[in-house]
Every structure is written in C-alpha cells, then in structure tokens.
Amino acid sequence: MELNEQKLKIVETLQDKSVLKQNVYDHTEAAFEKIRNLLAALAREINGDIMDTDKRIRLVFKENGKFDVSIKVAGDILLFSMHSNVFEFDREHTVWKTPYIQKNKDNSYSGIISIYNFLADSLKYSRQDDLGYLIARIFINRENQYFVEGKRQMAMLFSNYGNEELGREALKRIIFTAIQYSLEFDLLVPPYDSVKITSVGQLEKKIQLSKMVTGKRLGFKFNSDDVLKE
C-alpha cells in the first residue's frame, strides 16, 4: 500500500470508527451520570421513608471516583463501575444473532457499566480474600440502545436491544432490580471440609484484618449458586 493510501485509510478510520466509538463513550458516560444522580436521590428518598427505623439500615451513597459510585444497602454494597473504553463482542456472543446488529455491524460497539455486589464488611475491614460478584453488565451503543447481561431477573427483564433507548426510567428499573437481587443473595456457610484446616499465618492475618477474637468462626466467604459465569 502506498503512503498516500495509508494516510487516506487513517483519515477514513478516524472519520468513521473513531467517531463511532466517541459517540458510544458519550452515551455511556451520560448513562453513568444518570446512575450517579439516581443513586444519590434514591438514598435520600429511602432514608426519608425509614427515618423512624433502625439507623443501621440506612442507605449510604458514595462517589469513589469519575468511573465508580456505590450504594450501601443493609449489609451489601453495590458498586457501579463504568469502563473508559469501548468494546466489540466476540464472535461467539449471542448478541450477533439479534436482527438489530445483523442489520448494522456498527451497532455492536458498546460501552459497559458493570454492577458488582460486595459485602459491606469485606470493604469495611479490608478483608482481601473475600469475594465480590458481578451481577449485571449494561451495554450501551452509539444510538443509546442498550441491553443488560446478568443472572435471573436481571437477564429476563431487558431483552429489548434495538427497541428502547436507555433513559432514566430504564436505569431506575435496572437499579431497583439489582438492589432487590443483592438483598436476596444470601451469605452461605462454606463446606466444613473447605475450612477445617488453616495455617497460623492465615489465622493471624484474619484476626488482624477483621479484628476477630480466636473464638470466632473463620473462613466465611460471599458465595452462591447464582454466581455469574464469565
């Protein structure tokens, strides 16, 4: 390829794909800002509704940076995290079977906002070995069309890719569903054989990190049969 042809190819790519990806990013960023505002408002509203109830169950909204916000709900924390890059789906993904993407391949480029579920105590006590789980991912494209990939109700409610733009009401439904899911996602007792042996180092580390006395039961991890398989 001649140098002039290469230059023209670069210009074409910048004009087409780079602009496309920037549009995807802008829609994703706008959606994330809506999530930020909705979570802050939700915390204020629910805390007002439960004002006369136990203060320990109040919601706590927190901004963790430009691309991360969280809300504490009882003993759980939901972390909403926006990725700063734009992605295309691998060829095995079922999204390629949708008429919307088959009609125009450019619709496959997406921004991602992930929703993770952590135990509040895992972060409070810096328990590095505790697990958090991805419960949903919101995919947003150049036309502000979206779909949600997740487990159970998170997956079943949003099969409308190409038919609905991502607005405030859709984001509210996603947030409410994620919160309800996390509240029903219980902490399970680990199998006895998986925790019956521990080293002195592991024991000392757990005592140091979680401030537990030696008589406390050790080895609990956030777990479920409904963990999202990547």
What confidence tens digit (pLDDT) does each residue in 140-189 have?
999 999 999 886 666 544 567 888 899 999 999 999 999 988 888 766 66
Q: Is 193 part of a structural domain of the chain?
A: no
Angle between helices 168-184 and 19-49 (to 10 degrees): 60
**Coil/strand/helix, residue 80:** strand
The first and second tokens of residue 225, run together, are: 């049969």
Residue 221, pLDDT score? 39
Q: Is 213 part of a structural domain of the chain?
A: no
The span from the CA of 150 to the CA of 160, in Å, is: 14
The span from the CA of 116 to the CA of 200, in Å, is: 32
The span from the CA of 11 to the CA of 221, in Å, is: 52
Residue 13, pLDDT score? 72
Q: Is 68 part of a structural domain of the chain?
A: yes
Q: Is 48 part of a structural domain of the chain?
A: yes
Q: Is 205 part of a structural domain of the chain?
A: no
**Coil/strand/helix, residue 197:** coil
Range of the domain at 103: 3-187
The span from the CA of 110 to the CA of 83, in Å, is: 10
Residue 229, pLDDT score? 36
Residue 198, pLDDT score? 63
Q: Is 207 part of a structural domain of the chain?
A: no
Q: Is 208 part of a structural domain of the chain?
A: no
Q: Is 227 part of a structural domain of the chain?
A: no
pTM, whole model, 2 decimals? 0.79
The total number of residues shown for the chain amounts to 230
Residue 85, pLDDT score? 94
The answer to whether residues 106 and 142 touch, using CB atoms and an 8 Å cutoff, is yes
The span from the CA of 230 to the CA of 220, in Å, is: 23
Residue 199, pLDDT score? 64
Render the burial of 31-56: b for 16+ CB within 10 Å, e for the rest: bbebbbebbbebbeebbeeeeeeeee
Q: Tally the domains of the chain.
A: 1
The first and second tokens of residue 189, run together, are: 């007792």
Residues with pLDDT less than 70, the chain: 1, 151-159, 186-192, 194-203, 205-230
The answer to whether residues 95 and 114 touch, using CB atoms and an 8 Å cutoff, is no
> Who's near 211: CB < 8 A, 6+ residues apart?
125
